[in-house]
Amino acid sequence: MAQNELILVRRPCIKYLREQKALNQLKRFEEVLIICPPDLGKQTPERIRRAKLDGYEKGVFDLTIIGVNKWVSRVFLVEFKYGKNKYTPEQQAIADSLEGLSATALKIYSLDEFIEFITKEFK
């Protein structure tokens, strides 16, 4: 992950999501689970090897949000991007396989775009 992506997109979006959850603003779902695996982008080969031993694989999205209530459960796979970055081939394959399920994959390029997504899907 490029440093700009980490500093300008991922961290502010995760901070915003955690604040909204702490303030009970994600009202569409009774329970919201946030899964944010560590970024394995620019790591040493040893650290990547250890992460793979722990179950991390290529194509894992930056953020998984699971919203659950009595009527519906939804899964959102979020990939933070900066500039013209696109999905990796592994991420594209996962995104394509979600069609027709109650899961959605999306690319987020800015905090404003993330706030719009959270407002539409969770408030």
Residue ranges covered by each domain of the chain: 3-122
Cβ atoms within 10 Å, residue 4: 12
| Fold observed for domain 3-122 | Trna Endonuclease; Chain: A, domain 1 (3.40.1350)
Per-residue pLDDT of the chain (123 residues; tens, 9 = 90+): 467 787 889 999 999 999 999 999 999 999 999 999 877 666 788 888 888 888 887 788 999 999 998 888 999 999 999 888 899 899 999 999 998 888 999 999 999 999 999 999 998
Predicted local confidence at residue 1, as pLDDT: 47
Reference 5, options 66, 63, 69, 57; nearest CA is: 63
In Å, how far are 10, 74, 76, 117 from 101, measured between CA atoms?
26, 9, 11, 18
Half-sphere exposure of 42 (CA within 13 A, CB side): 6
Predicted local confidence at residue 40, as pLDDT: 65
CB 99 within 8 A of CB 77: no
